[in-house]
């Protein structure tokens, strides 16, 4: 059984590009292995996608942005896939309705795997040709990191699908659970300072991590580890979900409209809390990090605790300079108070590839770090994840600042 800790190999950093490509592609297939054919076709909500769609879309990316441009005598595997598996690239053309991806009973899962094998063979063939290696490398690296994003989505979307099933089926018995951080919480203090934020080192980054620039951070303190289930239970027990003084107005309206009383996947069994996990329903572990909370819930908890959420500049500064901080990566994405916006001097790449990040810079908040579902080689201190404030199906948690 594949463990989530057996993370996807580093995209573009293996012995060869061919090795990296083959390893990343194989890991996506392995993530789908615990699921049935029916699981792979279903869609639990508009924000999630079927596993079958993720497997096809990541192949569509390589076919559309690499094979179509560089393969001599290019012919698509199936011309209809250009529309079916286009996610949001308006520069490419038409798209199938996102909220109806679960209605795509055809192509079959078997045909999607045949599509992947076909694309894999043709990409590897291009990589064997010196004349195309130089042209293919930047787009291939982008495509591999794009697939790693979808590897995380395969896990989070499958968990949501299984979690709404009354049978509450297991995704994988051997999958890792969140790690508890040892020791007591410590507040790490940082003096006021002008710091450099953003990616400027060697290695891959997405365009939204650039350009590197200066920001001033006032004096602040950052918690050494993430908020635990036990700490969040205290918030609930103190009436946290019934006291509007802790909530942003929009957040209060959100919990009222959706009858939200606790984090996603939590369940009551008398006086005991249970939680649906990748390994099935388990007793809630008090010392593990609280997961699957929205920005609204994270901000409300911080207000109740007499603290706040960090800005993304504070988080990145601390992550780069304080080795004693725990749970920065591999447990939960951490909400920041920063709106997802372009860095000073940001410019999207030309063409359809430029639609990858820039056009989403509105009405979303930045999360930092990485989660237990994130491939380890995909995480870095400058990575900017982003979601709307009500998002809970990702492995999102809370790190406090003050």
CB 375 within 8 A of CB 7: yes
**At 368, phi and psi to the nearest 5?**
-120, 160
Query: Could you report the per-residue pLDDT of 283-332, keeping only the tens digit for each?
Result: 999 999 999 999 999 999 999 999 999 999 999 999 999 999 999 999 99
**What mean pLDDT do residues 125-138 have?**
87
Q: What is the pLDDT of residue 117?
A: 98
Closest CA to 298 of 360, 368, 348, 345: 368
For the segment 157-185, the average pLDDT, to the nearest whole number, is 89
The rounded percent of the chain whose pLDDT value lies above 70 is 96
Tell me the pTM.
0.94
Q: How far apart are CA 60 and CA 80, in angstroms?
A: 11
DSSP 88: S
Of the CA atoms within 13 Å of residue 255, those in its CB half-sphere come to: 24
pLDDT digits (tens, 9 = 90+) for 242-279: 999 999 999 999 999 999 999 999 999 998 999 999 99
The closest alpha carbon to 178, from 9, 291, 272, 276, belongs to: 291
d(CA 53, CA 111): 12
Q: Are strands 332-339 and 396-397 parallel, antiparallel or unpaired?
A: parallel
Q: Residue 51: CB partners within 8 Å, gap ≥ 6?
A: 31, 32, 35, 39, 40, 154, 157, 158
CB atoms within 10 A of CB 162: 21
Span 196-244, pLDDT tens digits: 999 988 889 999 999 999 999 999 999 999 999 999 999 999 999 999 9
């Amino acid at each position: 059984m594949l463990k989530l800790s057996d993370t996807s190999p580093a995209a573009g950093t293996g012995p060869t590009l061919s090795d990296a490509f083959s390893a990343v592609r194989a890991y996506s297939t392995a993530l789908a292995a615990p699921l049935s054919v029916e699981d792979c076709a279903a869609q639990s909500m508009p924000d999630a996608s079927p596993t079958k769609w993720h497997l096809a879309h990541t192949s569509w990316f390589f076919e559309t942005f690499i094979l179509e441009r560089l393969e001599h005598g290019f012919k698509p595997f199936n011309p209809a896939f250009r529309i079916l598996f286009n996610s949001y690239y308006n520069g490419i053309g038409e798209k199938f309705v996102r909220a109806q991806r679960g209605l795509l009973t055809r192509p079959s899962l078997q045909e999607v795997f045949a599509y992947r094998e076909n694309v894999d063979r043709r990409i590897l063939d291009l990589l064997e040709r010196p004349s195309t290696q130089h042209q293919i490398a930047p787009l291939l690296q982008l495509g591999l990191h794009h697939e790693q994003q979808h590897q995380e989505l395969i896990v989070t979307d499958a968990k949501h699908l299984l979690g709404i099933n009354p049978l509450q089926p297991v995704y994988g018995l051997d999958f890792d659970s969140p790690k508890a951080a040892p020791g007591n919480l410590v507040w790490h203090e940082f003096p006021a300072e002008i710091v450099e934020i953003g990616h400027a080192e060697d290695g891959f980054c997405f365009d939204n991590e650039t350009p590197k620039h200066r920001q001033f951070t006032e004096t602040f303190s950052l918690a050494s580890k993430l908020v635990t289930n036990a700490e969040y239970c205290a918030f609930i027990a103190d009436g946290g979900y019934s006291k509007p003084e802790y909530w942003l107005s929009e957040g209060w309206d959100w919990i009222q409209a959706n009858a939200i009383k606790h984090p996603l996947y939590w369940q009551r069994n008398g006086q005991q809390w249970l939680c649906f996990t990748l390994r099935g329903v388990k007793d809630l572990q008090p010392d593990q990090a609280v997961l699957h909370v929205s920005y609204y819930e994270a901000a409300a908890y911080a207000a109740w605790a007499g603290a706040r959420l960090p800005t993304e500049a504070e988080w990145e500064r601390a992550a780069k300079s304080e080795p004693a901080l725990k749970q920065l990566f591999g447990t939960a994405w951490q909400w920041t108070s920063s709106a997802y916006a372009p860095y000073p001097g940001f410019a999207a790449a030309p063409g359809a590839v430029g639609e990858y990040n820039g056009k989403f810079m509105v009405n979303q908040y930045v999360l930092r770090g990485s989660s237990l579902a994130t491939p380890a080689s995909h995480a870095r201190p400058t990575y900017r994840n982003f979601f709307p404030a009500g998002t809970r199906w990702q492995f999102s948690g809370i790190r406090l600042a003050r």
